Amino acid sequence: MRVIVLTTDTPHHLYFVKEVSTVFNITGIGVESKMLEDPFRTHHSFEDVRDHYEVTELLQKEEMRFEDYCETKVFDNINNEGCIQFVAGLKPDVIVTFGTGLIRKPLIHLCPDGFVNLHGGDPEYYRGLDTHMWAIYHREFEQLIVTLHRLNPNLDDGEIIQKAQIRLDKNSKITKLRAENTKLCVQLTLSALLVFNQLGSFISKPQKRKGRYYSFMPADLKQICVKNFEQYIQKL
């Protein structure tokens, strides 16, 4: 089974590749280097702590690169012609995308039955960006969901393969939330790849409703999220 990962260069995405590679060989990795530009100030100081935690805990301060695992190519945009040619040349059975921008039809058509996306949220309620933060902002902690779904041209709209909920306890911290999300992403991906390897296809079901689309969260609202999260954890 030839598996390709499309992602961005972050510690938690490196961890994802490392863990998936312990069970399945990854044939190739496409890295999108140009991210969407924030239209206003979005950075919050807790994200610096989060990034440090992921380097020290997820990666154990280990120096690693995507190139350590398989052939890797970097593209400004994941939909450009160079990426399409790279993916087509690898003849994938499955493509897993984690953290890239919207995937366009020419790329999807290369692997229509095996193209899946990892979404930090439940797309039947929260689609788009910063979805876990928006759930915390609305105090909907039950919506701290991780979803693996089929990828189609509409954002976060494909049939759902699996969902899992991030479990919180008195020791949970908002700075660890993305790491816990990534661990669930690994679990969902490995489970689905095992099924695909056995059956030659994914088992999925259509979404019952279309969740609201959310965009970047401003830094001031992230401060509200930090307070909401702390208040919720104190009551557990």
pLDDT at residue 48, rounded to an integer: 97
Cα 191 from chain centre: 16
SS3 state of residue 137: helix
pTM for this prediction: 0.96
pLDDT grade for 125, boundaries at 50, 70 and 90: very high
pLDDT at residue 198, rounded to an integer: 97
Which CATH number, 3.40.190.10, 3.40.50.720, 3.40.1390.30, 3.40.50.12230, labels domain 3-234? 3.40.50.12230
Map tokens 């899946």 to a residue: 116
pLDDT grade for 39, boundaries at 50, 70 and 90: confident
Domain segments of the chain: what residues?
3-234
pLDDT digits (tens, 9 = 90+) for 135-150: 999 999 999 999 999 9
pLDDT digits (tens, 9 = 90+) for 199-235: 999 999 999 999 999 999 999 999 999 999 999 999 9
pLDDT at residue 37, rounded to an integer: 76
